[in-house]
Amino acid sequence: MKKQLVIIGGGPAGLAAAVAAYDAGVRDIAVIEREERAGGILKQCIHNGFGLTRFKESMTGPEYAQRFLDEVNARGIEIMTGTFVTGLGADKKVTCMNERGVFTLEAGAVILAMGCRERSKGALNIAGTRPAGLFSAGTAQKYVNIYGHLPGRRVVILGSGDIGLIMARRMTLEGAKVECVCEIMEHSGGLRRNIAQCLDDFGIPLYLEHTIVEIKGKERVESVVIAQVDKEKKPILGTEREIFCDTVLFSVGLIPENELTKGAGLALDPHTKGCFVDENRETDIPGVFACGNVLHVHDLVDFVSEEAEVAGRAAAAYLACGERERAYIPTEAGENVGYVLPQRAGKGKDVKLYFRVRSAFRNAVIRVEAGAAVKTYRRIAVAPGEMENVTVKAADLADAPSVRVSVVREA
C-alpha cells in the first residue's frame, strides 16, 4: 500500500507533525500508534504545567494531548492504533503489524516520532537482589495514574529526573512515604520548578551526589543501602546508610528509542542518541524526518510540538518539491554545552538552535560564534534539565564555516 506520509508514533510529536503536514497540503497521511490510544506518555501525566510556554495556560498531559488529537480528528487524519512498526527501510518502506495482519506501507516521506524509553535499573550495575518492588518511575506512574494501583507505601527514588520528581509528589499525595530522592550528579536533571513543587513543598529530602549501592530483600524490597559518591562517581567508603523501604523508583535518564532508525541504516549522534538532522529535522536519508524525544530528549512538550511542526511542514515541502541540493554549515557544542540541535543548518534563513548546558549556574552568558560574528545573550540561570535556545540570523551564517554555542559565567 502506498502512503504519501507515514508518521511513526502517535504521541505529542507525531500528532503535531500530522497536523502541520496536513495544513501544508498533505492529505494522504497515516499516523502509526502501537498503543490502543494516541497521545503517548502524556496520557499518564495527569499533573499540570503542560502548555505554559506554547499556550500560556497550564494543562494536564491528557488535556494537552487531547488538544492535538482534536486537531487531527478535525482534519480526518488516519491514526492506526494498536499497530506496531516492525521494520523501516532506507527505501521508506514501513512494515507494520496489527490484529489484521502484517502489511507494508510504501511511504513518500517518513517522520520518526517514536519517543524515548526510561533507562532501566538493570543498566546501573547495582549490587544486591532482584526482588519485586523495583520500578522505572514511568512504569509506577502508569500503575498509579492509569490503573489505580499504588505500588508501595515506603519509597526511595533514585535519580532526580522530572518523572522521578513528579512521582515523589504523586506517591506522597496517595499516602506513601517517600524517604528520599538520591541523585548521583551534583545537580538535578529535572526542572527547577519540579524540585520546588514536588520535593521542597512536601519536605522530601534530595541527596545530591548520592546513589544506591545495594538492594536488599528476597521476595519484596526490604531496604536499600545508599552512599555518597566522589568526583569519579564512586561510592565513598564509610558513607553507607541503610534505608528501609518496600519500593524503589528509578528515574535515571531517558533514551531515544531509535531501534527502527538504526534498522534503516541511519547513524546516531552519541550526544543526543538521536539522528543527525538539519534545521528541517531531515535526517541523512532524504524524505525521512525525526522530531520529539526520538531525536533528542526534551523537558517541555511545548518544544516537542514546535519541533514536530517544523518536521511536518518540511515533509510536506519534500513531498511537493522533492529532494533539493542545499548548502549546510555544521553546528558545534562549545564550552559547557552538551549538544546543539540541529547538527547542521541550511544557509539562507534564520535558524533556531536548541542546546543543553552541562552544569547549572546563575548569571550565564550564551555565546554564539558564527565565523567572525559573535553574539551574546544573558540568562539569569541555566541548568542541564532545561533546554535553551537562541535564533541565529541568516546574515550571520552566510559566510561562516560553522556555528558554535558556548555558555560561560558572566565575568
Site membership for other proteins, residue 130 (CB under 8 A): yes
Residues 27-46 that bind other proteins (CB under 8 A): 34
Site membership for other proteins, residue 60 (CB under 8 A): no
Inter-residue contact 31 to 79 (CB < 8 Å): yes
- Min dist CB 152 to other proteins, Å, is 5
Site membership for other proteins, residue 48 (CB under 8 A): no
Nearer to other proteins, 85 or 107 (CB): 85
Site membership for other proteins, residue 267 (CB under 8 A): no
Phi, psi values for residue 251, rounded to 5°: -130, 70
Residues 227-246 that bind other proteins (CB under 8 A): 246
Cα distances (Å, whole numbers) of residue 367 to 383, 387, 392: 16, 15, 11
- Min dist CB 161 to other proteins, Å, is 14
Site membership for other proteins, residue 175 (CB under 8 A): yes
- Min dist CB 238 to other proteins, Å, is 14
Residues 67-126 that bind other proteins (CB under 8 A): 82, 84, 86, 95, 97-102, 117-118, 120-123, 125
The string of DSSP letters for 17-42 reads HHHHHHHTT---EEEE-SSSSSSGGG
* Sequence letter at residue 129: T
Buried b (16+ CB within 10 A) or exposed e, 101-135: eeeebebbbbbbbbbbbbbebeeeebebeebebbb
Could you give the strand order of the β-sheet that contains 134-136, starting from the edge strand earlier in sequence? 134-136, 247-250, 154-158, 177-183, 206-208
Site membership for other proteins, residue 177 (CB under 8 A): no
Residues 268-287 that bind other proteins (CB under 8 A): none
Site membership for other proteins, residue 220 (CB under 8 A): yes
CA neighbor of 72 nearest in space, from 3, 14, 33: 14
Question: Which three cell numbers mark 228?
Answer: 555518597
Site membership for other proteins, residue 262 (CB under 8 A): yes
Nearer to other proteins, 230 or 259 (CB): 259
CA neighbor of 287 nearest in space, from 251, 320, 240, 334: 320
Question: Which three cell numbers mark 34?
Answer: 502501537
Site membership for other proteins, residue 328 (CB under 8 A): no
- Min dist CB 344 to other proteins, Å, is 26
Site membership for other proteins, residue 150 (CB under 8 A): yes
- Contacts (Cβ under 8 Å, ≥6 apart) of 85: 8, 32, 34, 94, 95, 96, 260
Site membership for other proteins, residue 247 (CB under 8 A): yes
- Min dist CB 355 to other proteins, Å, is 23
Nearer to other proteins, 198 or 213 (CB): 213
Inter-residue contact 94 to 234 (CB < 8 Å): no
CA neighbor of 313 nearest in space, from 79, 23, 11, 9: 23
Site membership for other proteins, residue 292 (CB under 8 A): no
Site membership for other proteins, residue 131 (CB under 8 A): yes
User: What crossing angle do the helices spanning 301-321 and 12-23 adopt, rounded to 10°?
Assistant: 40
Residues 368-407 that bind other proteins (CB under 8 A): none
- Min dist CB 6 to other proteins, Å, is 18
Inter-residue contact 256 to 263 (CB < 8 Å): no
Nearer to other proteins, 292 or 342 (CB): 292
Site membership for other proteins, residue 144 (CB under 8 A): yes
Cα distances (Å, whole numbers) of residue 292 to 17, 35, 111, 116, 249: 10, 18, 10, 9, 25
User: Of 158-166, 208-216, 338-346, 373-381, which part binds other proteins (CB under 8 A)?
Assistant: 208-216
Quick check: bond before 342 cis, omega within 30?
yes
Q: Residues interacting with other proteins, by CB under 8 A?
A: 34, 82, 84, 86, 95, 97-102, 117-118, 120-123, 125, 127-133, 136, 138-139, 142-144, 146-153, 171, 174-176, 213-214, 216, 219-220, 246-247, 259, 262
